[in-house]
Structure 1
Amino acid sequence: MSRGDHGPHHLGRTAGLIGAAVGLAAAGTAIGVAVTRSATSAVRANQLAGQAGDDGREVADVPARELRQQDPLGSASRSADRSALVHTDDGVLLAVEEIGPLDAPLTAVFVHGYALSMASWTFQRRDLGAQLATANGHRPSARLVFYDHRGHGASGRGDAEHATIDQLAADLEVVIDARAPRGPVVLVGHSMGGMTVLTLAQRRPELFGTRIAGVALVSTSSGNLADLDFGLPQLLTRVRAAVLPVAAWTMRRRPALAEHTRKLAKGIVSAATWSLSFASTDVDPALGRYVDAMIGGTPVDVIAELYPAIAGLDASGAVEPLRRVPVLVLTGDADKMIPMQHSERIAGELPDAEFVVVPGAGHLVLLEKPEQVTAALGELIRRVAAEQGARSA
């Protein structure tokens, strides 16, 4: 067959390339942020060498730290007070970083979104670390715990059959048990992280009102996500529907080809990421580059494996346990990925929840409008800390 022959094999390969490119833009760029693949390699090396455990020993020099210790605008972020690796029930190692003393009266666990990493909380890590986890003449009111989901950031990879929200919820429970075995806990989830928190409420409702003393759900949903059009025009929505199965197959079965396609489509993916992640027209270029640099490190097969779990999520029955604790529901009013109506639905089922809508913010509201997000989270954590202190008095 000549190079110019457009036979079935050639057309199939072309469809795979197009599918991977469009699929990455339509399915994988909601996504936001993840750290460089070298971080995952470092954790895998630790796994093979048997150098890491879940007992709080320091992680070896993980390159991802360089990213987490800088905020998107270049000023220094808050370095971790300690780092650890936590074993999940199927042996995957999760990278954890903490700020604040081990004996703080309250622990806040931050759960990041789809294809992001703990680096997505960089502003909250810096500012809440200064406000809540540092003495400043007073006893710190909270310890902050950040971790990377399996397959993300500096954490290890699991088998494809464990790429489910239920597994992520099981992982969250392991992190709580390992890093906050005593005392009240506030869970803070963004996007897929919020879905993880809701799924934990389905799995272990008895934890809410006992161990879990507060919840924040940021730009998330309890389900019915399969039909979202990501704010795309109707024609592009139809194209997405047509090529997404091809893209998903390519990303799972031919990850090297999909990665190559992503590099070729770098400009398209970057433009799609900015459009889908932010609502502001004046996003700082440094912030955009921060997102671009990290999204490029998310393995395409991880994106493909988790997408069906997110699209098929049904956590509608998970809200009831949250009625026992203070809840913050926060969203941007211009979120194209998970529209504001999804947060309104959750807040409507929680009449006592605080519902915060951030004007002019998209899906990555925690990076786009960090001051509003940090203020709302700080208020929730202080409220829970005060309530817990009053109970123990």
Structure 2
Amino acid sequence: MGRSNPPAPQHSRGRTAGVVGALVGLAAAGTAVGVTVARVAGRRVRAAQLGPAAAVAEERAAAQLRTADPLGTAARAADRTALVQADDGVLLSVEEIGPRDAPLTVVFVHGYTLSMGSWAFQRRTLAAELATANGHRPDARLVFYDQRGHGSSGRGRPERSTIEQLAGDLATVLETRVPRGPVVLVGHSMGGMTIMGLAALRPELFGPRIAGVALISTSSGQLAELNFGLPELLTRVRAAVFPVAAWTMRRRPALAERTRRLAADLVSVVTRSLSFASADVDPALGRYVDAMIAGTPVDVIAEFYPALAGMDEIGSLEPLRAVPTLVLTGDKDKMIPKEHSDLIVERLGRGGEATAEYVVVPDAGHLVLLEKPDEVSGALTALLRRVAADLSVAP
């Protein structure tokens, strides 16, 4: 009979749990965040599935969440909420601001481990600007939705965690909530990749239906080569241990969640380093980000990671040349460095008849939409004015 190995000492197991937790947190922090209330807001979908009485009670709680103000943003409440059913039955949570018959609709697509709440600053600013643009009615409708597995949307089967599926979900949101009229798509990080996926899936939409695009802190591929701003030695360690963390998140999600909590302080430090460039980020914003990462299930993070790491959408950019496109990035983005935006702009072209406008925000990291919200909102407003002028819609 073979001799079994003795059990590891308790302190060794504790160190191992801490390391795994740190890796899980790093994997989660490694691409983006979501909203503080993701877990609670997720009850909205479940309540709708349970019946009218549960839905009423849950909607009351959701209304309280929507009026909460974790970032001091005086966030604009939704005029309408809806559930959109994807092609595989997954329910996607949608919120809208502005009239259904507005001459232009702006659809916001969030990133990996985020939710629609990541647009809190832009939601407030753009809603206020559009509501007063011509003195009496909004010139655009704002549509926000949670990607599958994120925020308050439902989850699909693991094999559906692909850019192609996310692009299909976006197409369904457009068909269901924006069946007519011109649309501007705004995507951050994985949201930008979703838009590129839609360009590959439905290129005919760009021009006739999709009148403008904004790609914020995103990439068209080669994400597996990112080093997150780490020294070479640590990059090698990361490459060796990330598969272990990914396996743990997929196969042992309960263990991964526990170890992630054990390493919460380390995760918080890593998150701030990867998300922001400014040294004076408001601690409340940091806590907001921490809460969102903690609110995204680790198995969702693991399921989407291979699709992101293996993505190659450089060939999907061609349809975007038919419409005005904003490419925006922070100059100190450690997650998806500026060079990835450089490549997108090079592919789209600048000058002459080219459509791309390039904005590089100084002293900003991957979460530029939260770190430098005024710069992002200003660039989006300029894009919307450009699109409106092309469409002869009042700015």
Alignment TM-score, normalising by the size of structure 2? 0.91
Secondary structure at the aligned position of 1:279 is classed as coil
SS state at 1:256 partner: helix
Q: C-alpha displacement at 1:382, in angstroms?
A: 1.8
Q: What is the match of residue 129 of structure 1?
A: 127
CA distance in 2, matches of 1:44, 1:114: 22
Q: Tell me the equivalent position of 1:311.
A: 309
CA drift at 1:140:
1.7
1:372 match:
375
The Cα shift of 1:346 comes to: 0.5
Shifted more, 17-26 versus 86-95: the winner is 17-26
2:32 matches 1:31: yes
Q: Which residue of 2 aligns with 1:165?
A: 163
CA separation in 2, counterparts of 1:139 and 1:199?
34
Q: In the alignment, is the contact (CA less than 8 A) between 1:64 and 1:153 conserved in 2?
A: no
Q: Is 1:18 matched with 2:19? A: yes
TM superposition shift of 1:342: 0.4
Tell me how many residue pairs correspond in the alignment. Answer: 385
Could you tell me whether the CA contact under 8 Å between 1:219 and 1:330 is conserved in 2?
yes
Query: 2:42: which partner in 1?
Result: 40
What is residue 175 of structure 1 aligned with on the other side? 173
Task: State the alpha-carbon separation in 1 of the partners of residues 50 and 88 from structure 2.
Answer: 15
Q: Match of 1:387?
A: 390
Distance 1:103 1:170 in 2: 24
Distance 1:104 1:81 in 2: 13
CA offset digits 1:105-133 (Å, max 9, x no partner):
00000000000000000000000001114
Measure the CA separation in 1 of the matches of 2:203 and 2:56: 33
State the match for 2:211 in structure 1. 213
Match for 1:98 among 96, 99, 105?
Answer: 96
CA separation of 1:365/1:193 partners in 2, compared to 1, >3 Å: closer, same or farther? Answer: same
Q: What TM-score do you get using the length of structure 1 for normalisation? A: 0.91
**1:241 aligned to which of 239, 243, 250:** 239
1:97 offset after TM fit, Å?
Answer: 0.5
Conserved 8 A contact 2:164-2:198: yes
- Correspondences of 1:253-332 after superposition (within 5 Å): 253-332=251-330
Conserved 8 A contact 1:141-1:382: no
Are the structure 2 counterparts of residues 223 and 60 from structure 1 closer, same or farther at C-alpha, using a change threshold of 3 Å?
same
Q: Is the 8 A contact 1:81 1:100 kept in 2?
A: yes
Instruction: Quote how far apart the aligned CAs of 1:136 are.
Output: 5.9
Specify the SS of the correspondent of 1:61: helix
Q: Separation in 2 of the partners of 1:202 and 1:375?
A: 29
User: Match of 1:31, as an amino acid?
Assistant: A
Q: Structure 1 residues 2, 66: closer, same or farther in 2, change over 3 A?
A: farther
What displacement does 1:381 show? 1.1
Distance 1:304 1:13, change over 3 A: farther
CA distance in 1, matches of 2:38, 2:137: 36
In 1, distance between residues paired with 2:175 and 2:52?
Answer: 22
Residues 328-350 of structure 1: CA distance to partner in whole angstroms, max 9, x if unpaired? 00000000000000001111112
Q: Which of residues 7, 13, 28 in structure 2 aligns to 1:5?
A: 7
In structure 2, the CA distance between the partners of 1:181 and 1:270, relative to structure 1 (3 Å rule), is same
Structure 1: gaps of 5 or more residues: none
- The aligned residue for residue 365 of structure 2 is 362
Structure 1 residue aligned with 2:331:
333
Q: Aligned pair in 2 of structure 1 residues 64, 292: CA closer, same or farther (>3 Å)? A: farther
Of 135-144 and 73-82, deviating more is 135-144
Query: Contact conserved, 1:20 with 1:251, CA < 8 A, in 2?
Result: no
Aligned-residue offset at 1:10? 11
Distance 2:132 2:53 in 1: 30
Distance 1:332 1:68 in 2: 29
CA distance 1:381–1:62, change in 2 (3 Å): farther
* Fraction of identical pairs, as percent: 66
